[in-house]
Structure formats: C-alpha cells, structure tokens
Copies of this chain bind each other. A is one copy, B any other.
Amino acid sequence: MFAIRNTLHFCNISPIRHLSTIPFSSDFIFRQLFDATSSTYTYLLADTTTREAVLIDPVFEHAGRDAQLCKDLNLNLKYAMNTHMHADHITGTGVLKKLTKCKSVISKASGADADVHVNETDVVTFGRHKLQIFATPGHTNGCITYYSPEQGIAFTGDTLLIRGCGRTDFQEGNSEMLYHNVHKKIFTLPPATQLYPAHDYKGLTSTTVDEEKRLNPRLTKSLQEFVKIMDNLNLPYPKMIDKAVPANKVCGVFELSPQ
C-alpha cells in the first residue's frame, strides 16, 4: 500500500488560472443525460462520420430513452460501458444489449460479466475517436476513468466527483488508494480537462482538473487528513446496494440472454 509520508507534495494549492476551453472536434457528438432518482449522469459520445456511439454509465430505467436518442441521432451504439460496478443503481447495459447491437464493457478488475473486459492502457474506439483507460480504484477495486486527450474530457465515475469523491466504506473501498489515483492519474491531466462524474447531487454538471486541484474540499487535503475525513463520514448503508450489485455483476439483468 502507499506510504503516507510520500504524499505531502500533493497538497500545494494551485493559483487560479485563466484557462482556455478545449473545444470539441466538429466530428464529435457529446450528450450528457441524467437520472433524477439516483442523480446519475450518463454520457453519449459519437463520431459524426461513422455514426458509431458509446454510452458511459447508462441507467436501467432509462435504457429505452438512451436507445431512442441513438435512433433519433441515427447512431449505432457500439458499446454500453461502465466506469465501475455501481451500488446505487442498476446499469442499463443488459437492456441496451437487447434493444441495440451494442456490447457491454467494464474493467476486468470489477469482477462483473461483460462482452469486453478492459484494463489500464486499453483504448476504446468509436469511429476515429478514442477513450484511453486509466485504472482508478479506491471507491471500488474495478473503478476506471475514460479519457479523451483530443476532446479534453475525462469520465471519472465515482472516483472524483465535483468538489467531492466516491465513498470508500463498502465494495472494497480504500481511501488511500483513491487519493493516490486521483492525484497521480486525474490531477496530472491538463488543467483545462473537463471532468464528467457519474453523479452530482447539487445540480452541477461538470468541473475541470484545475478546479478540483484548487477547490476539492477533500482531495486538496493531505493523505492523512483525507483518510480521516473518509473514515468519519458515517454514511448510511446504501439502500440499493443489495439489489444493484448482484444485478450489475451480470450487466444489469439477473438473467442475461446470450447475444
């Protein structure tokens, strides 16, 4: 495990920078989608030329909406991908496999079934667009971050939230590991990188590396302080976990038909 003494250099507070926005390519489609029940964000990304699309963190109850949006935009859903095995909602991947011709994607380390298992350094492609994969465990063992350097965006799942982070008190949670992965793999991305989390509970929709390095109330602290904060959150047992995790182990449906 990581040594606490090695982390003090992470705690410098950056000055406010006047960063340029990284514009999307003209052949890149981006849509953010929301589930009000679990405050989950789903993301639709696509290539305007080949019409190949991916969905990140789809929600079971909205699989129909998401498949319809792909149809409306004349997109072929290639992958329905998760950042991790969620405990607060059932993933839409299983239903989307039935509604479209997509394949499900999740990290090997998640322990969940999927058509495609990914690991650190793997790349997911749709059309000419690419998402690099970083292993960012800490909230769960299988947490990954999807990153597009060209579009200047990263999908951080529950690893890094806007002014917050995922809890680390269940599902192999490890606050030291989360801290190190955020600092080593997310905070080292270009400061203007727009970060899109799996959730927000205050109506914020995105943040940047720069903002979280300056303003995250937990992750700007030292590792010792961070671990103490995470150890003392005293959060209630997640109400959906006993239903969501077994379902998410099999792509969101208990009996997944072979495709």
Contact = CB atoms under 8 A, between A and B. Distances in A.
B204 A69 contact: yes
A206 interface: yes
A211 B215 CA distance: 38
A133 to B, nearest CB: 24
B34 A203 contact: yes
A22 interface: yes
Contacts of A3: none
Interface residues on chain A, size class:
35 or more
A132 to B, nearest CB: 21
Interface stretch (A24-32, A93-101, A134-142): A24-32
A33 B72 contact: no
A6 interface: no
Contacts of A42: 203
B24 A24 contact: yes
Nearest to A200: B34
Contacts of A72: 211, 214-215
A39 B35 CA distance: 12
A51 B21 contact: no
Contacts of A26: 20-23
Contacts of A48: 18-21
Copies in the complex: 2
A73 to B, nearest CB: 7
B31 A34 contact: no
Nearest to A205: B32
Contacts of A29: 21
A49 interface: yes
Given A31-B205, A36-B203, A203-B62, A51 B20 contact: no
A239 interface: no
Contacts of A205: 31-34, 205
Contacts of A65: 202-204
A28 B21 CA distance: 6
Interface string A145-177: 000000000000000000000000000000000
17 contacts: A18-B48, A18-B49, A20-B26, A21-B28, A22-B26, A24-B24, A31-B204, A33-B204, A34-B203, A34-B204, A34-B205, A35-B203, A36-B39, A42-B203, A65-B204, A72-B215, A73-B211
